[in-house]
Structure 1
């Protein structure tokens, strides 16, 4: 695989500024629990045009991180910081850095913001230091940080299997505008998986009867998420948001990842903008308008 560059905005001798896109799970079927505690799955993931912005200064006097989003760590526990340290260790480079994150992707929302930050940092450091590592090696490094990180280095709509690390490009996805609803609460991914009853998952029959791998993604057939039932049972806002999006002419609605964010897919920009304007009146919901990056 050739080296893939990050979504670069600006670069000079010691500075890079880049965008980190969010992701949606258009399909998520959990197949089994593994002996190591992780779960195997089949998922169709796609990037969307909702971005965090990261600024990196290289070879600084001290290592530092700043983030504008309340509650996001500004130290070595942040995935972006971990990614930078991992790269430098693997490359045997001893330098300090400064990372500034301007978050627009809501944290803990099932949209992969932290994983996107980590993947983007790995690509940025690799580009800055002359593409020391191949993209496949960067993806291996990313997997040690989190199951979703390799996807943000892959940078294409993908069918993910295993724990999410085995990626195969998925072509033929139709373009849609995305109306995203985020809430003022977060969910624990670990708890969602813990409470998942594998025998009751509903996406298994869909993937058996009509595979998007062979036939292409069909919105009416394939939009499904096994984790939604678990999260929605604890948070009524999820089903309320889905209904509201359908009432505003979304072609399909779903929760992304382990949630709690809910998205609606619209073929028409006017209808999407109209939905955002109307649903923004709910003060407990935060609305975003984006589109699928295909």
Structure 2
């Protein structure tokens, strides 16, 4: 079975509190984009075998796709095995939920292969044991995600909007970013109601001007290059730019394909992992 595992961006990311167990309480608007890994999954006699076109991607228990397959098999007493090949296009450690998307795709594929009677909500709950982005990745589209990622409210589809995505040549540890975030020092929070209203009206201008990610306070101060990338894209006609997740990937919305193409061409010369794509 061949399945696409789509990347996500954050149209907003707010941290509204912290639980006693140390997890941050989030309020964020997530959006699927047309950038994906290809997952080829086949039944085997036993065991879990992961392979990937990128040598730096772990293919053992550290891989979220492996964890997803293992969790599914243990939860539903699957005695057979799976062979999973990941053709990776989504950048790693980028804030685009590539690993979570792969895990969600594996859970959905295994549901289809082994337990089609299982409800989608059950798959989402299972996914939360793997990572906070996995439940959303199992749903996709445009959604408000709250709690630690498990409370998902579907929003109007904000599809077919052009964006340029730039991933600089370094990764960022999500754990470290949250560790260095001081909630009390956050001066400006996203206006989530305004952003949802803009999505309902399909108003790119209002949304792009009001996007906000509080984790930029940490990542942009450590990696000044990201501020330069954002400003460059604005100078080339972007309607708005934002860092996705904990970074370091930044994206920009355009209302004109020619401007987006010029931006893409210029960024691609310096940053290998640059993409021109759309919201879906």
So what's the TM-score if we normalise by structure 1? 0.89
Q: Which residue of 1 aligns with 2:109?
A: 124
Gaps of at least 5 residues in structure 1 are 1-15
Q: Which residue of 1 aligns with 2:148?
A: 163
After the TM superposition, list the runs of 4 or more consecutive aligned residues in structure 1 that deviate by more than 2 angstroms: 59-63, 172-175, 202-207, 210-218
Q: Which residue of 1 aligns with 2:240?
A: 252
Deviation at 1:270, TM superposition (A): 2.0
SS in 1 for 2:172: coil
Change (3 A) 1:220 1:67: closer
SS in 1 for 2:176: helix
2:99 aligned to which of 99, 103, 114: 114
Q: How does 1:42-121 map to 2 (within 5 A)?
A: 42-60=27-45, 62-121=47-106
SS in 1 for 2:58: coil
CA distance in 2, matches of 1:281, 1:125: 40
Deviation at 1:202, TM superposition (A): 4.1
Q: Which residue of 1 aligns with 2:203?
A: none
CA distance in 2, matches of 1:290, 1:132: 35
Checking the alignment, whether the CA contact within 8 Å between 1:24 and 1:111 is kept in structure 2 is: yes
- RMSD after superposition: 1.7
CA distance in 2, matches of 1:70, 1:50: 20
SS in 1 for 2:59: coil
Q: Which residue of 1 aligns with 2:275?
A: 288
Deviation at 1:130, TM superposition (A): 4.4
Change (3 A) 1:213 1:102: same
Deviation at 1:213, TM superposition (A): 4.0
Q: Which residue of 1 aligns with 2:262?
A: 274
Deviations for 1:133-189, whole angstroms, at most 9, x for unmatched residues? 100000000000000000011122100010111000111536411100011111111
Deviation at 1:92, TM superposition (A): 1.0
So what's the TM-score if we normalise by structure 2? 0.93
SS in 2 for 1:184: coil
Bigger mean CA offset, 269-278 vs 239-248: 269-278
Q: How many residues are matched?
A: 275
SS in 2 for 1:22: strand
Gaps of at least 5 residues in structure 2 are 201-205
Deviation at 1:212, TM superposition (A): 3.3
Checking the alignment, whether the CA contact within 8 Å between 1:175 and 1:267 is kept in structure 2 is: no
Q: Which residue of 2 aligns with 1:243?
A: 231
Checking the alignment, whether the CA contact within 8 Å between 2:166 and 2:251 is kept in structure 1 is: yes
Deviations for 1:272-292, whole angstroms, at most 9, x for unmatched residues? 11211122222x453111100
Change (3 A) 1:195 1:221: same
